[in-house]
Amino acid sequence: MEINDIIRLMQAVKENDLTGFKMEEGDLKLSIKKEKEREIVTISANPVVPAEAPAGAYARQVSDAAAPSGNGEEMAGNDISSERIVSSPLVGTFYNAPTPDSEPFVKAGDQVNKGQVLGIIEAMKLMNEIECEFDGVVEAILAGNEDVVEYGQPLFRIR
C-alpha cells in the first residue's frame, strides 16, 4: 500500500465521520481512529435557556432540581430567584473543601470576589475548581458536600 492510499483512507474517515477503520493486507496491518471532539464547558452566571422552552419553564425546572440532599444552615431558603447563580458546569461530585479535613471554601454570608474558588466538582477522577464570576456575598449554598450534581444545577446564590 502506498502512502497516497493511506492519506485517502484518512480523508475518507474524516469526511464520513467514522470513528475508526481497520485493514489487514498481507503483513500490513492498518488502524485509523478518529478521536472524539471535546466540548469545553465554562461556568456561566446566567443559565442557558433552550429556545423551544416556554417562558418560565426553566425557572420551574431549576427550582425543582435545587433541593439539596445535605443539611445545614447555609442551605436554608432555597429560593433561587436571584440572577447571580453559580451553576455546575458538569456532572460530578461536589466538594465544598479542598480536603475532608479542611474548612469549606466559603460559607453563607462570606464576601467573595470574581475568580475566587467556591468549591470543587470531581468528574472522572479530575478535580474541577468552581470559580465565582462576580463580586458579592454568598447568600446560599445550594448543594451539600459530596452531593452528586447535574450539569446546570445551581450551586451557589450570590447577592
Indicate whether 140 belongs to any domain.
yes
Per the structure, the complete domain to which residue 20 belongs is given by: 3-33
> Is the domain of 12 the same as that of 72?
no
Indicate whether 38 belongs to any domain.
no
Q: What pLDDT sits at residue 135?
A: 92
> Is the domain of 128 the same as that of 66?
yes
> Is the domain of 62 the same as that of 18?
no
Q: Which residues of 47-76 are buried (b: 16+ CB within 10 A; e: fewer)?
A: eeeeeeeeeeeeeeebeeebebeeeeebbe
Q: What pLDDT sits at residue 37?
A: 54
Q: What pLDDT sits at residue 92?
A: 93
Indicate whether 109 belongs to any domain.
yes
Domains contained in the chain, number: 2
pLDDT per residue of the chain (159 residues) written in tens, 0 to 9: 677 877 787 777 777 766 676 777 788 777 777 665 555 555 544 445 555 544 444 444 444 444 444 444 444 444 444 578 999 999 999 999 999 899 999 999 999 999 999 999 999 888 999 999 889 999 999 999 999 999 999 999 998
Indicate whether 112 belongs to any domain.
yes
**DSSP, residue by residue, 12-63:** HHHHTT-SEEEEEETTEEEEEE-PPPPPP----SSPPPPTTSPTTHHHHHHH
Indicate whether 45 belongs to any domain.
no
Please tell me whether the overall predicted TM-score, pTM, comes out greater than 0.75 for this model.
no
> Is the domain of 104 the same as that of 145?
yes
Indicate whether 40 belongs to any domain.
no
Q: What pLDDT sits at residue 34?
A: 66
The CATH number covering residue 112 comes to 2.40.50.100
Indicate whether 22 belongs to any domain.
yes
Q: What pLDDT sits at residue 8?
A: 80
> Is the domain of 68 the same as that of 8?
no
> Is the domain of 27 the same as that of 99?
no
